Amino acid sequence: MNPFHSIQDQESVRQKVREGYGRIAISSGSSCCGPSSCCSADSGGAASQLAQAIGYSEDDLAGLPDGANMGLSCGNPVALASLQPGETVVDLGSGGGFDIFIAGRKVGASGRAIGVDMTAEMLAKARNNIAAYTQQTGLSNVEFRLGEIEHLPLADNSVDVLISNCVINLSPDKPQVWREIYRVLKPGGRAAVSDIALLQPLPPIISEMVEALVGCVAGAVLVDETRRMMAEANLTDIQMEKRESYIDEMKEIQDPLYKKIKEALPPGAKLSDYAASLAISARKPMS
């Protein structure tokens, strides 16, 4: 299943995503294709409010470099990962470094936290925040690499934990992303992912909206499709938890794109009837 088939080819999709998230990084706000995106809050205060509503603690958010939290989350994969000191953790689509700067504190001086992102503007923003992170924590254990999540700049069997936050839905080749996750994880390594998933197919008018693509809705696939792709990539111990309430949080922060999508829904329907935040965990077998 390729949800982008009727929109554009894979490279066109990547370019749309690159351009949208590049604008977010440059503006230091959350504008993607408009005043706000489906996955973003419209101010620093709203971003913090949304982060706490979806599972981040005040301790997680305290002391983050300025601008690292752009409200682009749909769950807390760091908490789901249960990171331990000394582990190597990689974040797919790390953006401004939000989850990496939190993860770096958890894996400590003996660990490593590596962000991968295909958007140069996001990488620049994240890298510019490393000095502030080091000053605040005394740690020099984070780095950010340019790369596509379908082709990770990482060696085979090199990662203890793979996390991702509201990014895999953006990929036009999701099976390849899950194969890459399997490839880079060490035997016994684990994945912890928060993503948007569909509970039922979207109305065609929404699945064709470029704004909804970059805003994390149009590219999402059904929950069962995600499970199938993970199993075909040979990941095991797959667990999924649907969290429909996250979608409704967008209404509480008056997200403009949520309003636009809602207007396109059938009368009486709401976006959480179609989509949910999905907390996903899995492992690479030991052999």
The string of pLDDT tens digits covering residues 11-57 is 665 555 555 554 554 565 443 333 344 444 444 566 777 777 777 88
The string of pLDDT tens digits covering residues 63-101 is 788 767 765 677 899 999 999 999 999 999 998 899 999
pLDDT of residue 58 exceeding 60, the answer is yes
- pLDDT for position 27: 61
- pLDDT for position 202: 80
pTM (two decimals): 0.82
The string of pLDDT tens digits covering residues 224-283 is 999 999 999 999 999 999 887 777 665 555 455 566 777 777 888 877 888 888 999 999
Contacts with 166 (C-beta within 8 Å, 6 or more apart), sequence order: 39, 72, 73, 74, 75, 93, 194, 195, 196, 216
- pLDDT for position 2: 45
**Sheet-wide strand order for 112-117:** 142-146, 112-117, 88-92, 159-165, 185-198, 275-283, 236-243
Alpha carbon 277 to its chain centroid, in Å, reads: 11
Name the one residue in this structure whose structure tokens are 């149009």: 218
Q: What phi and psi values does residue 22 have, to the nearest 5 degrees?
A: -65, -40
Q: What phi and psi values does residue 229 have, to the nearest 5 degrees?
A: -65, -40
Domain ranges of the chain: 10-283
Which CATH number describes the domain made up of 10-283? 3.40.50.150
